[in-house]
RNA sequence: CGGGGAGUGGCGCAGUCCGGUAGCGCAGGGCGUUUGGGACGCCAAGGUCGCAGGUUCGAAUCCUGUCUCCCCGACCA
């Protein structure tokens, strides 16, 4: 490809709409343009990257035995009413009407449609198992789209749905897809981790998320360096303390703590560590009464875990100040279990605490020397906090650490949640009707591009992994329009590399060298060849890898072999 | 939806407090000089100041309404 026959539009300054690195770089490099909130045009350069990601996914899904199809983006309301999700899905579902005022939606996911396909086609156990997938544009009317294509409303997703005669076969396919995803993200050249996940709203049991590791990731992942344990912090179990509760040594005492509202202020005021304090959080209970949750001062409430408690109303809502005032005679910042007669649920870590500090249920007062059993009744103990680095791994094999990740894939065992609702029956060997077991497997294709950048960039711009770069190699001629030998060499090299199936970009724009270098680096091309009069006299051209500190000269005669060898080891042919 | 911020040429911004008819850098056009790390000079071009009302002799600037976008929280690929 010659730059003059392609479309490159880079910016020196990032548009002010962008905050995170990948978003800024994607806009600066001209990969995407925003049309409206959460909706982007993929410019030619960006589309090349997106297509490479799609190709790898498609090749590996095919290798894994899945079969590609393409379902409609627009779906009739009837199907969604049948699965009861027309009401359940909420405002994230973009609902539209046709000219006859019939209800439709723009598909945020395709369980309903695929189920409709399968129930019409599949009648017998002989036709199972099946795994259908598609790569398609979805629309989810996110409350707050952000970070460019990282959390767009319109995005490209690979979604797959598998159907089985029994749970055992579903588990086999689940494992197969787990392995397929592992191959996909490995081939994409990304550092990633598969983590046990909460099943969220889609439901079902058995689920893993695939996260691209990046410090800027939105998700926290707890993992054990000593074993293969990894789980989303939402899910990772905080184990029971192994140490017994010490006996009380201090008397219960009420102390004035004027103006102290937070744990940090409390620690500073009383000169204690946060681990010796207990924080009190009040949420609405299932029966409407407030429920007091207790956590060690240095721990954080996990809303998902709290939501699973029978005593707590779903979704978890913090009680209003009025409710709290009525129940505790005090305001948030001074709350505690002493003298409170309602339901108290304490995190397991609190089990092992003695002589701690907690709110006194009187504004601007705290109690010190508080002890469970002596000063207030034994509460219900449960796991309601986020794990922290240093916690014991739930598999008992070491100590947890925490890193951040971007969720790019998610696999689920749906079991019969949809197949039962949508009546996905088949006849088994004995001629009896059974309900299919179902799995689903998603990959955020557009998100992968942003995640790859989030993981691979420097101050000059993007550094694309070889597997998904828009162009493998950039040829930058110095004096293309002036020096016939430079032009001829550049053209020939371009043609020869292209003939080898290498994606080569010849920057034949009439730009100054600095501008060309800057652009080629910004758009993340991993290899660069510079052809100049100076080097050609010696029969040499210059090579520089995108991450290399220094360029080096190589004989012209060896260029092709060098480039080929560097690119072919990452070749995307399956 | 709650909280915060912003809409001025393609991009980044100043001007708004204190009303007087719009400016800077970059990009883009022409000409010339340049050509191994985002060149320089000259010339020309480009703006309903988000939109709608209002106040005023006069509004980017003040008032009211409205739309859009971004950031922080609950959702998700």
pLDDT in tens, A288-298: 888 999 999 99
What is the arithmetic mean of pLDDT over A8-16? Answer: 91
| Residues above pLDDT 90, as percent of chain A | 75
Query: Is it the case that residue A439 has pLDDT exceeding 70?
Result: yes
Place of tokens 């202020």: A265
Six-digit token string for A456: 């691979």
Calculate the angstrom distance between C1' of B25 and CA of A517.
22
Q: Which residue has the higher pLDDT, A362 or A204?
A: A362
**Contact A248/A374 with Cβ under 8 angstroms?**
yes
| Lookup: tokens for A5 | 């026959």
Task: Name, of A58-62, A270-274, A349-353, the range with top average pLDDT.
Answer: A58-62
* Structure confidence by residue, pLDDT tens digits, A190-200: 999 999 886 65
Q: Over the stretch A257-280, which tens digit does the pLDDT of each residue have?
A: 988 888 888 898 999 999 999 999
Q: Which residues pair with A358 in a beta bridge?
A: A367
Residue A204 has pLDDT above 50, yes or no: no
- Average pLDDT along chain A: 92
8-state DSSP, A533? H
Q: Of the ranges A79-83, A260-264, A484-488, A561-565, which one carries the lowest mean pLDDT score?
A: A260-264
Residue A569 pLDDT exceeds 80: no
Mean pLDDT of the A159-186 span: 97
Question: Which of A336-340, A386-390, A468-472 is predicted most confidently?
Answer: A468-472
CA of A515 to C1' of B39 (A): 10
Judge if the beta carbon of A482 is closer than 7 A to nucleic acid strand B: yes
Tell the burial category of A18 from Cβ atoms under 10 Å away from its Cβ (0-12, 13-18, 19+): middle
As a whole number of angstroms, the distance between CA A137 and CA A154 comes to 7
| Distance in angstroms between the alpha carbons of the first and the last residue of chain A | 24
The confidence band for A334, taking pLDDT boundaries of 50, 70 and 90, is: confident
- Band (A324; pLDDT cuts 50, 70, 90): confident
- pLDDT score recorded for residue A321: 80
Residue A459 contacts strand B, CB under 7 A = no
Q: Give the confidence band of A452 by pLDDT, cuts at 50, 70, 90.
A: very high
- The confidence score (pLDDT) of residue A330 equals 87
Could you say which residues 42-71 of protein chain A have a Cβ atom less than 7 A away from any atom in strand B?
Answer: none
CB A155 under 7 Å to nucleic chain B: yes
CB A350 within 8 A of CB A292: no
Percent of chain A surpassing pLDDT 70: 98
A356 touches strand B (CB under 7 A): no
* pTM metric for this prediction: 0.90
Looking at residue A417, its pLDDT comes to 87
- A4's CB contacts (< 8 A; 6+ apart) are A508, A509
Strands (E), A239-313: 253-256, 278-284, 290-296
Cβ A315 to strand B below 7 Å? yes
pLDDT band at A156 (very low <50, low <70, confident <90, very high): very high
Is residue A442's beta carbon less than 7 angstroms from any atom in nucleic acid strand B? yes
The strand B neighbours among A residues 135-154, by Cβ under 7 Å, are 140, 142-147, 149, 151-153
Please check whether residue A26 is in contact with residue A522, taking contact to mean a CB–CB distance below 8 angstroms: no
Using CA atoms, how far apart are residues A348 and A379, in angstroms rounded to an integer? Answer: 10
Q: Confidence class of residue A308 from pLDDT cuts 50, 70 and 90?
A: confident
Chain B nucleotides reached by a protein CB under 7 Å: 1-2, 6, 11-13, 25-27, 34-39, 68-77
Q: Which two tokens stand for residue A310?
A: 């029978």
Dig out the tokens for A24 from the structure: 């800024």
Q: What are the tens digits of pLDDT across the range A362-421?
A: 989 999 999 999 999 999 999 999 999 999 999 899 999 999 999 999 999 999 988 998
pLDDT for position A162: 98
Cα distances from A109 to residues A120, A160, A170, A171, in angstroms, run 19, 10, 20, 22
- Residue A203 scores a pLDDT above 70: no
Q: With a cut of 70, say whether residue A167 has pLDDT above it.
A: yes
Residues 6+ apart with CB under 8 A from A300: A385, A386, A388
Number of residues that make up chain A: 574
For the cut 60, the answer to whether the pLDDT of residue A574 exceeds it is no
**Nearest to A163, CA basis, from A521, A374, A431, A415:** A415
Omega before A129 cis (within 30°)? yes
CB of A551 within 7 Å of some strand B atom: yes
Instruction: Give the nucleotide nearest to A219 (CA→C1').
Output: B76
- Residue given tokens 């002010």 in the structure block: A16
Residue A103 CA, nucleotide B64 C1', distance (Å): 38
A164: β partners = A437
pLDDT-derived band at A504 (thresholds 50, 70, 90) equals very high
Asked if the model's pLDDT at residue A65 lies above 80, the reply is yes
Q: What pLDDT, in 10s, does the model give residues A509-526?
A: 989 999 999 999 999 999
What value does the mean pLDDT take over residues A66-91? 92
């Amino acid at each position: 490809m010659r730059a003059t026959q392609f479309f490159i539009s880079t910016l020196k300054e990032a548009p002010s709409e962008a905050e995170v690195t990948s978003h800024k770089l994607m806009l600066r490099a001209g990969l995407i343009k925003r049309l409206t909130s959460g909706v982007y045009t993929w410019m030619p350069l960006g589309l090349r990257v997106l297509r490479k990601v799609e190709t790898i996914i498609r090749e590996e899904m095919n290798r894994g035995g899945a079969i590609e199809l393409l379902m409609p983006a627009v779906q009739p309301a009837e199907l969604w009413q049948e699965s009861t999700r027309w009401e359940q899905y909420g405002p994230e579902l973009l609902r539209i009407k046709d000219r006859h005022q019939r209800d439709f939606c723009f598909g945020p996911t395709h369980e309903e449609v695929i189920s409709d396909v399968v129930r019409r086609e599949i009648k017998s156990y002989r036709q199972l198992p099946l795994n259908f997938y598609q790569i398609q544009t979805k629309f989810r009317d996110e409350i707050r789209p952000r970070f460019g294509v990282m959390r767009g409303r319109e995005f490209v997703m690979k979604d797959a749905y598998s159907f089985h005669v029994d749970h055992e076969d579903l588990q086999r396919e689940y494992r197969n897809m787990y392995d397929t995803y592992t191959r996909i993200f490995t081939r994409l050249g990304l550092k990633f981790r598969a983590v046990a996940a909460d099943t969220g709203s889609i439901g079902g049991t058995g689920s893993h998320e695939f996260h691209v590791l990046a410090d800027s990731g939105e998700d926290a992942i707890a993992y054990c360096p000593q074993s293969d344990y990894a789980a989303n912090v939402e899910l990772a179990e905080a184990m029971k303390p192994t140490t017994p509760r010490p006996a009380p040594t201090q008397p219960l005492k009420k102390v004035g703590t004027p103006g102290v509202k937070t744990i940090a202020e409390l620690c500073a005021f009383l000169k204690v560590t946060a681990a010796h304090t207990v924080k009190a959080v009040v949420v609405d209970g299932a029966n409407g009464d407030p429920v007091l949750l207790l956590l060690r001062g240095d721990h954080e409430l996990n809303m998902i875990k709290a939501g699973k408690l029978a005593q707590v109303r779903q979704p978890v809502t913090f009680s209003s100040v009025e409710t709290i005032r009525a129940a505790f005679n005090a305001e948030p910042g001074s709350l505690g279990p002493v003298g409170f007669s309602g339901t108290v649920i304490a995190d397991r870590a609190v089990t092992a605490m003695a002589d701690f500090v907690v709110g006194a249920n009187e504004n601007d007062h705290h109690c010190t020397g508080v002890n469970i059993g002596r000063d207030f009744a034994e509460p219900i103990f449960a796991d309601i906090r986020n794990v922290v680095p240093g916690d014991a791994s739930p598999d008992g094999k070491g100590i947890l650490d925490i890193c951040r990740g971007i969720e790019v894939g998610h696999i689920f065992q749906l079991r019969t949640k949809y197949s039962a609702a949508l009546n996905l029956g088949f006849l088994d060997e004995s001629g009896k009707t059974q309900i299919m077991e179902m799995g689903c497997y998603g990959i955020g294709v557009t998100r992968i591009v942003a995640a790859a950048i989030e993981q691979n960039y420097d101050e000059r711009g993007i550094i694309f992994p070889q597997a998904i770069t828009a162009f493998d190699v950039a040829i930058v001629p110095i004096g293309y329009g002036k020096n016939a030998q430079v032009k001829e060499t550049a053209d020939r090299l371009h043609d020869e590399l292209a003939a080898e199936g290498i994606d080569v970009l010849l920057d034949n724009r009439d730009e100054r060298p600095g501008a060309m270098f800057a652009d080629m680096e910004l758009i993340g091309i991993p290899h660069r060849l510079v052809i100049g009069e100076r080097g050609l006299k010696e029969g040499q051209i210059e090579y520089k890898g995108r991450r290399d500190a220094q360029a080096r000269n190589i004989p012209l005669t060896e260029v092709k072999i060098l480039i080929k060898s560097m690119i072919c080891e990452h070749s995307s042919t399956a």
